[in-house]
Amino acid sequence: MNVLITGAESRLGQAIARELAPGNRLRLWGTGESELDENITYFKGDMRDPDIAWQAVQNMQAIIHTGEPPPNLPEDDLACEQKLLDLATRGTHVLFKAGIEAGIKRFVYGSTLQIFEAYPDDVYISEMWRPMPSTDKFQLTRYLGEMTAREFARDFPVAVTVLRLGKLIAEENASPKNSDLMWVDYRDAARAFRLSLNRDAQSELKWNKRFALHHICADIQNPKYLVGKISGFQLRGFQPQHNFEAIWRGGGA
């Protein structure tokens, strides 16, 4: 499959590229280059520009929009927030619209579980819960991007998958001092993106069957965020492999 990956310079983007490299042709959109070479091309530019977005999606069969912020954001807080908001809304819209016009049928967007941080830790949160994003620019922009992506499943015969990722970390770098119920290993997150590309829902007549929403985090003993335990929301084939058992056995908070 020919797959476009945005935010490819981020650690998440690189993990997804490594996961997809075997058996796929990748186009990595972002600054810098990957250490991967075979069957990979690179692309740069502002996705808010329709002409650039159109060039990026040519000959692609799927789009993975990680939602990861670009490097070198403005130092001024207001300017930084404005750019992130514009990228999450207008940028996502321009990119997906170009994909629609190019005949792409599979779209995946990376959102965040942090839009549920306002809830207490003694509840079990599934995909059916109402998000409560704060005004934090990271939470708000990811949620707005998620809403933008969802509208394409409403209006077009395409499969759109939103992955609400927990806080990304490598299990071997985790410490009990800052343990978090939202943790997810980069490798598990990348695997979730790969599995999302298997969804063949673009021919569904009902838009809510073309759209899928999944929470992606470690599967721990006493979770706050449920992973695939609610009927109808399980990402087929996904089971976290890095569940930070040593951290929780060691007394993680």
Reduced to 3 states (helix: H, G, I; strand: E, B; else coil), residue 104 is: coil
Residues 44 and 221 sit within 8 Å (Cβ to Cβ): no
> Which pLDDT score, from 0 to 100, does residue 235 have?
87
Phi, psi for 157 (deg, rounded to 5) = -80, 70
- The C-alpha atoms of residue 185 and residue 234 are separated, in whole angstroms, by 18
pLDDT band at 141 (very low <50, low <70, confident <90, very high): very high
Instruction: Work out the mean pLDDT of the chain and round it to a whole number.
Output: 91
Domains of the chain, first to last: 2-249 (3.40.50.720)
DSSP conformational letter for 58: T
pLDDT at 37 over 80: no
Q: Which two tokens stand for residue 103?
A: 């005949």
Compute the residue count for the chain.
Answer: 253
pLDDT at 36 over 60: no
CA atoms within a 13 Å half-sphere pointing along the CA-CB vector of 248: 14
Q: Residue 237 CB: number of other CB atoms within 10 A?
A: 11
pLDDT at 194 over 60: yes
> Which pLDDT score, from 0 to 100, does residue 91 have?
97
Which residues, at least 6 apart from 232, have a Cβ–Cβ distance to it below 8 Å?
none
Residues 70 and 84 sit within 8 Å (Cβ to Cβ): no
Tell me what the mean pLDDT of segment 23-36 comes to: 77
Tell me what the mean pLDDT of segment 209-226 comes to: 91
Phi-psi region of 46 (alpha: psi -120 to 50; beta: other; left: phi over 0): beta
